[in-house]
Amino acid sequence: MSLTILFMPESAYGPTNNSIGIGDILRRRGHRVVFAAEASWKGKLEALGFEEDLVNLAPPPENAEEQDPGQFWKDFIRETAPEYRKSTLEQLETVTAPIWAELIDGAKYCEPQLKAIIERVNPDVIVEDNVITFPALLTAGKKFVRIVSCNPLEVRGENIAPVFSGLPADDRSEWDAFRAEYDRTHRELWTAFNEWCVEQGTEPLPDLDFIHQGDLNLYVYPEILDYTDARPLGPSWHRLDSSVRETDEEFTLPFERNDGSLIYFSLGSLGSSDVELMQRVIDVLATTPHQYIVSKGPLHEEIKLADNMWGAEFLPQTKIIPQCDLVITHGGNNTTTESLHFGKPMILLPLFWDQYDNAQRVDEMGYGVRLSTYSFTDEELTGAIARLLGDTELRARLAAAGEEIRRRDGLRKAADLIEQLGQ
Mean per-residue pLDDT, 179-208: 98
What pLDDT score does 220 carry? 96
Q: CA dist 383 to 293, 363, 389, 393, Å?
A: 19, 15, 10, 17
Residues carrying CATH 3.40.50.2000, the chain: 4-244+409-422, 262-407
* The CATH number of the domain covering residues in 4-244+409-422: 3.40.50.2000
For position 365, what pLDDT does the model report?
97
Maximum pairwise Cα distance, the chain? 63
Q: Which whole number is the average pLDDT over 98-111?
A: 95
Which pLDDT value is given to residue 64? 53
Q: What is the pLDDT of residue 297?
A: 84
Cβ contacts of 203 within 8 Å, gap of 6 or more: 212
The whole-chain average pLDDT of the chain stands at: 94
Strand order in the sheet with 262-266: 309-312, 291-295, 262-266, 326-329, 346-348, 368-370
- Judge whether residue 133 has pLDDT over 70: yes
pLDDT at residue 224 is higher than 60: yes
User: Which tops the pLDDT comparison, 271 or 284?
Assistant: 284
| pLDDT given at position 68 | 65
Most confident of 80-94, 184-198, 272-286: 184-198
Q: Which residues contact 349 (CB under 8 A, 6 or more apart)?
A: 267, 277, 281, 328, 329, 330, 331, 359, 371, 373, 376
Residue 183 pLDDT level (bands cut at 50, 70, 90): very high
Q: Give the confidence band of 65 by pLDDT, cuts at 50, 70, 90.
A: low
Q: How many residues does the chain have?
A: 423
Q: Is the pLDDT of residue 138 over 70?
A: yes
Q: How far is CA 389 from CA 344, 395, 397, in A?
A: 10, 8, 13
> Residue 67: pLDDT above 80?
no
Contact 291, 262 (CB under 8 A): yes
CATH fold of 262-407 reads Rossmann fold (3.40.50)
pLDDT digits (tens, 9 = 90+) for 316-370: 999 999 999 999 999 999 999 999 999 999 999 999 999 999 999 999 999 999 9
- State percent of the chain over pLDDT 70: 96
